Amino acid sequence: MKNLKPLVIVGALLFFGAGCLQASPAVKSVAEPLVDLPTPASIPTFKGFGELPGITGPVSAGKITLAAELPALTQKITVLRLRTGLPNETELKNVSNSVGIPSGMVGALPETKQFDLAWFDGQEYRWSFHAAERQLVFANLNSKTSPLTVTKLPSNEDIVRAADLFLISRGVNPNLYRQGLVYPDWNLWWRLAQERNFCMNRDTVKMVRALAASIASADGGLPALAKNQCGQAEFPTQQTVRYHALVDGRDVVRGDGSYVSGAEITVDAARSAAVSGFITLYDVPDRSDYPAIGQAQAQQMLMQGGISGVTGDITVQAFDLVSLQVDNSNIQPSAVYLVPALLAKGYRLNADGSKKTVNIVVPLLAR
């Protein structure tokens, strides 16, 4: 009888745990299988991404003068690798299960190669998400109701404010981007033209309308102006606001020295509303240290034009530490690395005495 007491206690606990005191019959518990969730592989702190892609650029042919000293450089640099938005194994299984795809088709260890979504938000906007690039693309379904051109533009501040409000109202983190800039800057172009007594004639207006009807940007330059046969000025209704990417506190640039846009919002100047654009949703990047070039080698590369292919007589006035975007499409899914680089900022003196802004990129990764 002594050994029976513990058995009675255990039996009572099982009795209560099984819900036997309730009026409804007990339900037999079925154990759920344990699932091993994938854990991200740890990245070595030094050369953790292996051999990085080669960084090359066109040969420069210019004379470079330094009007500023190079900043002090370190012996090691931290290379970043941007994370994609592709679902991992568990997330892919959850998504496939939610839309009714049989688990046998997905497999035990699936690897997502591409993942895109498209939807309508019920507020006049059509959206798509491209997971590999973590990029959202949107368009307003009523944007075609506005005229191609307007006779007066809002200020750049008002245009940027409309784009800012769109991003903030959609919950986008503004710390991932620099302050928005209107590009091309039609307001500045028109103000400088008027100061020099230029105006728009019929041919100028035709060019403005052609640019307004084109989906391409005005990177090739704005229309030629006139000094006679002046008419009513016109400007494209759709104005683009660019937000430079800001990852880990640094600007992101290409090899030619141009800045990578983290977001671009096109604003309808007639309605002060965002009508289209894209937004890159940056995540916390992976990181690993790599050896860096020394001060002397950095200056030598700079005097040779870096990887930017510059020409002419260039004067360097300032330096920034930035991240050079390096793509590796030889692997699947492709990878994007951000390599610390020196951005030399200056100008090229033209034959007519005018100055053109020039950026020179010097990657700091040792080879």
From 32-36, 47-51, 194-198, the region with the lowest mean pLDDT? 32-36
What whole-number distance in Å separates Cα of residue 173 and Cα of residue 143? 25
Instruction: With H, G, I as helix, E, B as strand and everything else as coil, classify residue 42.
Output: coil
What whole-number distance in Å separates Cα of residue 222 and Cα of residue 198? 14
- Spell out the residues 6+ positions from residue 310 whose beta carbon is closer than 8 angstroms to its own: 60, 62, 64, 348, 358, 360
Residue 317 contacts residue 65 (beta carbons within 8 Å): no
What whole-number distance in Å separates Cα of residue 119 and Cα of residue 350? 50
Torsion of CA 17, 20, 22, 28, to 10 degrees: 80
- Spell out the residues 6+ positions from residue 90 whose beta carbon is closer than 8 angstroms to its own: 35, 37, 38
| Amino acid at residue number 15 | F
Domains 61-82+286-363 and 122-280 share a fold: no
Q: Is the pLDDT of residue 12 over 60?
A: no
Instruction: With H, G, I as helix, E, B as strand and everything else as coil, classify residue 101.
Output: coil
What whole-number distance in Å separates Cα of residue 130 and Cα of residue 67? 44
To the nearest whole percent, how much of the chain has pLDDT over 70? Answer: 87
Residue 274 contacts residue 166 (beta carbons within 8 Å): yes
Q: What is the DSSP string of 61-93?
A: EEEEEESSPPPP--SEEEEEEPPP----HHHHH
Residue 233 contacts residue 201 (beta carbons within 8 Å): no
Which run of H or E residues covers position 207?
helix 202-213
Return the pLDDT at 220: 59
The model's confidence at residue 21, banded by pLDDT at 50, 70 and 90, is very low
Class of domain 122-280: alpha beta
Mean pLDDT for 160-177 is 95
Choose among 331, 318, 326, 256: nearest CA to 58: 256
- Span 61-82+286-363: which CATH code? 2.40.128
Higher pLDDT, 72 or 8: 72
Average pLDDT, the chain: 88
Choose among 332, 322, 327, 333: nearest CA to 361: 322
For the chain, give every domain's residue range. Answer: 61-82+286-363, 122-280
pLDDT digits (tens, 9 = 90+) for 219-229: 658 999 999 99
Residue 353 contacts residue 248 (beta carbons within 8 Å): no
Mean pLDDT for 145-149 is 89
Compute φ and ψ for 16, nearest 5 degrees.
-70, -45
Beta strand 355-363 pairing with 335-349 = antiparallel
pLDDT digits (tens, 9 = 90+) for 84-103: 999 999 999 999 999 999 99
pLDDT digits (tens, 9 = 90+) for 344-359: 999 998 888 889 999 9
Return the pLDDT at 262: 98
Higher pLDDT, 18 or 250: 250
Q: Is the pLDDT of residue 181 over 70?
A: yes
Return the pLDDT at 221: 80
